[in-house]
Structure 1
Amino acid sequence: MFVIASKRSTHMYLITNVRIITEESILTGYDLVVKDDRILKIIPEGGDGLANDLQVINGAGGYVTPGFIDIHSDYIETMAAPRPTCLMDFDMSVRETEKQLVSHGITTMFHSLSLFKDSEYKRKPIRDPENVRKFIDLIDRTHRGQHLIRHRFHARFEIDNFKEVDRLKGYIKEKKVQLLSFMDHSPGQGQYRNLKVYSDMVKSYNDVDDESIVKMIARHQAKEKITIDGMKEIAELARENGIAIASHDDDTVDKLDLVQSLGATISEFPITMEIAQKAREKGLFTMAGAPNVLLGGSHSGNLSAVEAIIANNIDILCSDYYPPALLHAVFTLHEKYGLNLVDVFKLVSLNPAKAVDMDREIGSIKEGKKADLLIIETIENDFPVITAVLVNGTLMQRTHYPKVPGRKDSRI
């Protein structure tokens, strides 16, 4: 059920009966006061001197946390194309996607759309250049109009895609890009440095024999890619427009040095523990997928997110392709692996905000910051659920789990 806040010139919420996760600790015995779009103050529970007409939100003893900031997710592709060749109305897809995202606690989403030239996957019309361009414009238009969450565009540029360079530069100049990553999915390096993994992936999408795969590999390894100077030109334009730059699937120290020379500050999905550690030593933010945490490892046989987080080599978790994973990865890391909950929440809030230079406004619970907030309770078997979401100080969603007759209330 979606609840729209009052249209009064000023509105205030008192969030009570909660444990507040701040940047430093978990506060108990305190209330949180929201005025308009900001966190006004944190006060002792039951404090006086507040306006009489504020709206009270009872958190039932759960946590109040920052909203999730997801800087890498192609989930919009799934919503727009639930079958490989089935395209739904794009505007409907964005609107229905944000309703799902807000329910999963994602208050800022960087829709990560790929500017591919070609691949050996079955053709996906959703990734055709004209469809990607439609989505770029739609994401921008949606955020400027009525919306439930913050929509941002993450341009994933495949470095053999010469045809899209000028258009990419145009989008950057038009302020329609908020994050840029350079990608190379050719076999023999990066995500597919293991050619058997690449071959198995191709076979899962296509009915081909080994001889055909050998030819595919040779063709992709020989294809022309944009020059380093060409990458520098795009990167410089991005930096001039305040856009964070990321590298994708880093697998060597040389590649880390190269991307850092371009101005990259984020290493997405480093392939090995060694590279993740080197990236952090070089001052790069490192990112892994939350589904990796839930599945116990990478679907490509690469870095284990859990092992890397425990080793302090991962700064950020993204949903990648599965939005519910952020919430459940956080509690899996805390409950199963014993990691500090305050630190784990930074993987999905403050750290990604820092990586894209949004941390002055969002990413943590702090007086004066934007009120992007979640209330998280637990139901049966300590299953975490999001029962309230505020974005920009407006209550966007409230969910109630009814008591089961004859049973004790299982919420926190």
Structure 2
Amino acid sequence: MWIADLRLVLPDRVIPGGAVRIEGGRIAELAESAPRGPALDGGGHLLIPGLVDLHGDMIEKEVEPRPGAAFPVDVAIAELDTRLAASGVTTAYAGLSFAEGKAGAHLRTEDRARGVIEAVARLRDGLRVDLRVHARFEVTVARAEPVLRDLLARGLVHLVSLTDHTPGQGQYRDIEQYVRYQTRAHGEDAAAAEARARQRMAAPPAWEVARGVTALARAQSIPIASHDDDTPEKVRLMQGLGATISEFPVTLEAAAEARRLGMATMMGAPNALRGASMTGNATALSVMQAGLLDALAADYHQGAMLPAVLGWVREDLLPLHEAVALVTCNPARAAGLADRGAVAPGARADLVLLDDSGAAPRLRAVWRAGRMIHSDGWSGRAAAAVAEAA
């Protein structure tokens, strides 16, 4: 199948008026002009790789959209799958937390995480997107280790991150910052939030337990990420545990140290789109302008990824191909996925046809391995036009 009249976004440049041939689930051929013979009309739209999201927290909210209102897990995963496809995400790592200890922590317990992860494994072959599991291990919750070890041993985890939400460091560098966030985001009483913060600060991180978890992940060639690094020392600690991705560094100093050590730096797309961190830490824009940004992740909203990078293009902050790389080939490379993330011959045909003429991008069609998983009706009109011409 040929699709012509495209602006092909390659890793290093953009080809105007190009064409692509999809065959057997892969990109078979690229052309810089219209091919001979029948072809679907791309309408001059952008053709970019399918988005690769290494950190999306949305699955927990799909399972329990309101406190105490749990949905069937199969329904929740199916809904998330639809949302991801409609956002242009073709490879997604669903973040599952283990007993993080926030207000409303029933969302984030070992049993809940295990159940959702097992459901993803059972359903993933029939989903639109390639849905994978990002296991978030809280280093102060050693009791979650046996559950995570079991899931790793069974091959149900595809990425592990080491998280430390202890107040006084990382994302919450002082107690007041932590209390403000808890009261605003979760409606928690300020006095209760402060008391819990001080209790958590008294619990030392279980670094030896974390070392055992990462050793098992490395033995299975599973990528490891650090989370909310705030100092160069913390980055070095995490890199020593095997982390190759620094996700959401909260200071430029931490991001610079990650880059020096050869780690991929990743920020949140909502941060990039809004121009601000929810907790007053480093912005994605500042990390990008310092030349330290490798990738953007959905974080808490998959719909932020494309508007964020295209917004930077409209503001002349990045060339189009470099902006698109932040949500495609760069995260794919960081996760060790060599078969996707680029519009290139031989790559998987994970593709997004995108109309970028309006204030917000409009997805016309999305393919995963050459199979269309989302369309706004473009495919039917294009096929009808080819049939009429024939």
Whether 1:219 aligns to 2:199 is yes
User: Which residue number in structure 2 is paired with residue 135 of structure 1?
Assistant: 116
Instruction: Give 1:303's aligned amino acid.
Output: A
> How far 1:388 moved relative to its partner?
0.6
Does the 8 Å CA contact 1:62/1:377 hold for their aligned counterparts?
Answer: yes
User: Which residue number in structure 1 is paired with residue 152 of structure 2?
Assistant: 172
* Pairing of 1:82-93 with structure 2 (within 5 A): 82-93=65-76
Inter-partner Cα distance in structure 2 for 1:387 and 1:202 = 39
Q: 1:373 aligns with which of 327, 351, 359?
A: 351
User: Which residue number in structure 2 is paired with residue 8 of structure 1?
Assistant: none
Aligned pair count reads 377
User: Which residue number in structure 2 is paired with residue 149 of structure 1?
Assistant: 129
TM-score w.r.t. length of structure 2: 0.93
* Pairing of 1:282-321 with structure 2 (within 5 A): 282-321=261-300
User: Equivalent residue of 1:155, what SS?
Assistant: strand
User: Which residue number in structure 2 is paired with residue 200 of structure 1?
Assistant: 180
Identity within the alignment, %: 31
Deviation string for 1:286-317 (max 9, x for gaps)?
11101011111100000111121122111110
Does the 8 Å CA contact 2:62/2:80 hold for their aligned counterparts?
Answer: yes
Inter-partner Cα distance in structure 2 for 1:213 and 1:46 = 62
Whether 1:233 aligns to 2:216 is no
Inter-partner Cα distance in structure 2 for 1:312 and 1:57 = 39
> How far 1:336 moved relative to its partner?
2.0
Q: 2:19 aligns with which of 31, 41, 46?
A: 31
User: Equivalent residue of 2:171, what SS?
Assistant: helix
Give 5+ residue unaligned stretches, structure 2.
Answer: 379-390
User: Equivalent residue of 1:17, what SS?
Assistant: strand
Does the 8 Å CA contact 2:97/2:109 hold for their aligned counterparts?
Answer: no
Inter-partner Cα distance in structure 2 for 1:107 and 1:149 = 5
User: Which residue number in structure 1 is paired with residue 388 of structure 2?
Assistant: none
Does the 8 Å CA contact 2:114/2:151 hold for their aligned counterparts?
Answer: no
The verdict on how the C-alpha distance between 1:209 and 1:98 changes in structure 2, with shifts beyond 3 A counting, is: closer
> How far 1:117 moved relative to its partner?
4.7
User: Which residue number in structure 2 is paired with residue 408 of structure 1?
Assistant: none
* Pairing of 1:322-401 with structure 2 (within 5 A): 322-358=301-337, 360-379=338-357, 381-400=358-377
Q: Which moved more, 1:160-169 or 1:315-324?
A: 160-169
Deviation string for 1:174-223 (max 9, x for gaps)?
1111100011101000000132211112323345344x444323211111
Whether 1:266 aligns to 2:251 is no
Give 5+ residue unaligned stretches, structure 1.
Answer: 1-12, 402-412
The verdict on how the C-alpha distance between 1:62 and 1:249 changes in structure 2, with shifts beyond 3 A counting, is: same
Does the 8 Å CA contact 1:116/1:161 hold for their aligned counterparts?
Answer: yes
Does the 8 Å CA contact 1:84/1:124 hold for their aligned counterparts?
Answer: no
TM-score w.r.t. length of structure 1: 0.88
Inter-partner Cα distance in structure 2 for 1:199 and 1:383 = 35
The verdict on how the C-alpha distance between 1:395 and 1:208 changes in structure 2, with shifts beyond 3 A counting, is: closer
Runs of 4+ deviating beyond 6 Å: none
> How far 1:372 moved relative to its partner?
0.2
Higher helix share: 2
